[in-house]
Amino acid sequence: MSATPGTSPRTTPVPASRRPAAWLLALALCAFALQTDDFVIVGVLPALAHGLAVGEAAAGQLVTVFSVICAVAAPVAAVATARIPRRRLLTTALAVFCLANAAVPLAGSYGTLMALRVLAALAAATALPATLALTAQLAPAERQGRSLATVMAGLTCAVVIGVPAGTWTGAALGWRATFLLGAVLGLAALVCVRACVPDVPPAPAPGLAARLTPLTRPAILCALLAAALAVLGNLLLQTYLAPFLRGAAGVTPSGLGLLLVVTGVAGIAGARAGGTLVDRWGPRAAFATACAVFAAAMAGLALTWSLRPAQLALVVPLLILWSAAAWSVPPAVQARVLTLAGPRHGPQALALSSSAVYVGASLGGGIGGRVLATQGAGALPVAAGCCALLAAAVFLVAGVRKGGQERGGGGELDG
Which one is predicted more confidently, 75 or 180? 180
pLDDT at 349: 67
pLDDT category of residue 382 using cuts at 50, 70 and 90: very high
Q: Which of 204-208, 247-251, 340-344 has the lowest mean pLDDT?
A: 204-208
Q: Is the peptide bond before 218 cis (omega within 30 degrees of 0)?
A: no
pLDDT at 329: 87
pLDDT exceeds cutoff 70 at 211 = no
pLDDT tens, position by position, 56-92? 888 888 888 888 888 788 777 877 887 888 889 999 9
pLDDT tens, position by position, 2-49? 333 333 444 444 344 444 468 989 999 998 999 899 888 888 888 999
pLDDT at 102: 96
Mean per-residue pLDDT, 381-409:
74
Looking at every residue in the chain, the average pLDDT score rounds to 82
pLDDT category of residue 105 using cuts at 50, 70 and 90: very high
pLDDT at 142: 67
pTM passes above 0.85: no
Which one is predicted more confidently, 205 or 318? 318
